[in-house]
């Protein structure tokens, strides 16, 4: 993937943290060594500021991938696992930055005076979808993985955000308030007419498409607090998976679709990483510490 000429910034090598922190988060290793072929678990840690961390489950090392005083959030991996795109305010406003893990450099990929962020890489590696307000409202944009050919896929009223790709890289599901509250919509990779798939008085946000393309996990406050729901594309039915009085957010599928990662504050109002089966059963708490963890996902 070619690097844009606008900015290339050397950030230094990724560094492991102390054994104390590793011990706190070691429970992650147990969940990752099951039947799912996963090795690297990535998530955002919020303390004084938000940073992106990755646990290597083969050697128990925890790496800080962003390590800046800015807020770095909402990461997404390229399908080959080399590039990490994320949202950061390190340039003064929100932009999409990319970490090249091979060369150990970070560069500003959008470098726009308007806010742009919440990227997601298409499974075929050709595109990045993201949200931008460069035309007055937040819309879903698509660009080639080399940063060229930027296209607004959802021009119109309201704010659109939090895009997620279908496994065949042909469609994007996202959240929009263009009809009043936030519902889920689907748009083609080439733009065009939108398909609205949820309609509820509560906001529906943070969609995540299942690897088999049949379901979409999302977050909604339909029952009064944030919980994980599942939309079945064939039946158009919606199922509450978590059914918990505490908030549950940011669902992300295991690569083989066997489980769903999410974060919850169900224990002592502390945001930790959990996993569950796609039917909501066998909930496992994966982190047990005082850090605030968000947006977990597996690295390819």
Mind listing the pLDDT tens digit of every residue in the chain (300 residues)?
433 322 222 233 333 333 323 333 333 333 333 334 477 878 887 666 788 888 776 776 778 888 777 888 899 999 999 999 999 998 888 999 999 989 888 989 998 889 999 999 999 999 999 999 999 999 999 999 999 999 999 998 899 999 999 999 999 999 999 999 999 999 999 999 999 999 999 999 999 999 999 999 999 999 999 999 999 999 999 999 999 899 999 999 999 999 999 999 998 788 888 999 999 999 998 877 677 888 888 888
pLDDT of residue 130: 97
Structure tokens that stand for 294 in this block: 């968000």
pLDDT of residue 1: 44
pLDDT of residue 133: 94
Is 174 exposed, middle or buried, given 0-12, 13-18 or 19+ CB atoms closer than 10 A?
buried
Task: Tell me the C-alpha distance between 259 and 120, whole Å.
Answer: 20
| CB-CB contact of 131 with 161 (8 Å) | yes
Q: How far apart are the first and last CA of the chain?
A: 17
pLDDT of residue 60: 66
Distances (CA, A) of 174 to 159, 194, 261, 296: 10, 10, 19, 18
Q: What is the pTM of this model?
A: 0.84
Q: Which long-range contacts (CB under 8 A, 24 or more apart) does 276-283 make?
A: 276/228, 276/241, 276/242, 278/210, 278/215, 278/217, 278/230, 278/241, 279/241, 280/228, 280/239, 280/240, 280/241, 280/242, 280/243, 283/242
Task: DSSP letter for 18, please.
Answer: -
Structure tokens that stand for 30 in this block: 């147990």
The per-type count for the chain, helices as H runs and strands as E runs, is 2, 26
pLDDT of residue 62: 76
User: Using alpha carbons only, what angle is made at residue 35 by residues 208 and 299, rounded to the nearest 5 degrees?
Assistant: 45
Contacts of 208 (CB under 8 A, 6+ apart): 164, 216, 217, 218, 251, 252, 253, 260
pLDDT of residue 296: 87
pLDDT of residue 152: 97
pLDDT of residue 229: 98
């Amino acid at each position: 993937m070619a690097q844009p000429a606008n900015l290339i910034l050397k950030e230094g090598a990724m560094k492991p943290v102390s054994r104390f922190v590793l011990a706190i988060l070691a429970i992650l290793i147990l969940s990752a060594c099951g039947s799912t072929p996963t090795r690297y678990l990535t998530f955002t840690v919020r303390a004084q500021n938000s940073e992106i961390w990755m646990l290597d489950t083969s050697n128990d090392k925890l790496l800080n991938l962003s390590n800046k005083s800015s807020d770095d959030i909402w990461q997404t991996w390229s399908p080959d696992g080399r590039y990490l795109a994320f949202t950061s305010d390190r340039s003064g406003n929100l932009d999409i930055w990319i970490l090249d893990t091979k060369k150990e450099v970070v560069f500003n990929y959008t470098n726009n005076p308007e806010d742009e962020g919440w990227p997601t890489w298409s499974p075929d590696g050709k595109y990045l979808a993201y949200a931008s307000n460069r035309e007055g409202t937040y819309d879903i944009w698509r660009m080639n993985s080399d940063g060229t050919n930027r296209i607004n896929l959802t021009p119109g009223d309201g704010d659109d955000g939090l895009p997620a790709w279908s496994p065949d890289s042909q469609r994007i599901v996202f959240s929009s308030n263009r009809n009043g509250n936030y519902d889920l919509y689907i748009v083609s990779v080439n733009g065009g007419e939108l398909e609205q798939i949820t309609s509820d008085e509560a906001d529906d946000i943070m969609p995540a498409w299942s690897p088999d393309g049949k379901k979409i996990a999302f977050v909604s406050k339909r029952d009064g607090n944030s919980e994980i729901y599942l939309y079945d594309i064939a039946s158009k039915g919606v199922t509450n998976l978590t059914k918990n009085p505490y908030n549950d957010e940011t669902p992300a599928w295991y690569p083989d679709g066997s489980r769903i990662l999410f974060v919850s504050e169900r224990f002592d109002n502390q945001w930790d990483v959990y996993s569950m089966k796609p039917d909501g059963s066998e909930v496992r708490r994966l982190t047990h510490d005082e850090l605030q963890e968000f947006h977990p996902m597996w690295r390819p």
